[in-house]
Amino acid sequence: MTAEGHLIFALASTILAKKMELSPALAQGDWWHIIAGGLLTCLLPDIDHPHSFLGQRLKWLSLPIARMFGHRGFTHSLLAIMGGIMLFTLQVTPGLIPLDAFHGMIIGYLSHIIADMLTPAGVPLLWPCRWRFRLPILQSQKGNQLERILCLAVLVFAMQHPQGAPLSDKMTMPDSVQILWHKVRGSLFPGQRI
């Protein structure tokens, strides 16, 4: 997916996450914090590609990461997401990043991985395992009109989605999954209101 596609998809994802109130921080957070956080990190997984938008500007960081992991390796995995969450929860300088912006940053990073799953190359979510997760409905190429149309359609859907409404009224989550979700959130953010 192109940088333009990732930016539009991240914008749509952060709007939708806020409107769906995925966490109290997102529900009560400032729109500008959440959207800025999402846009700030939506291109970050491609730091592993020296010719990407971000890789060209940060070659000193991109080249070593590309040599160590290759493109769509570690930075496109659940392990990278968990590492980023752990890094931000260390609170080396408390209050540096507002919680709502941090949640937006997570959504932005996740949006990149989800968007790349829509391409034939997919992503190695379980890295270092080489299995690729994909739903190949888009072709990775510059000027891809289908990509632009899909991203804009998701953006329109997100903007039209009612505040506080779930993605679908018919979707229910089993109690066991909800309990597990709350345990995971509690262990990642101990003592914080999430």
Domain ranges of the chain: 3-166
Cα dihedral angle (178, 179, 182, 186), rounded to 10 degrees?
A: -170
Predicted pLDDT of residue 18: 93
Q: Which residue is associated with the tokens 């749509």?
A: 12
Q: What is the pTM of this model?
A: 0.79
Rounded Cα–Cα distance for residues 147 and 133 (Å)? 18
Q: What pLDDT score was predicted for residue 35?
A: 96
Nearest to 111 by CA among 61, 40, 184, 163: 40
* pLDDT for 168: 61
164 dihedral zone (left: phi>0; alpha: psi -120 to 50; beta): left
For residues 49 and 58, the answer to whether their CB atoms sit within 8 Å is no
Give me the average pLDDT of each 10-residue run along the chain (194 residues): 92 94 90 94 91 88 87 88 76 72 92 92 88 82 76 91 72 67 62 54
What is the model's pLDDT at position 90? 66
pLDDT for 115 equals: 92
Alpha carbon dihedral 177, 179, 180, 186, in 10-degree steps, equals 140
pLDDT value, residue 11: 96
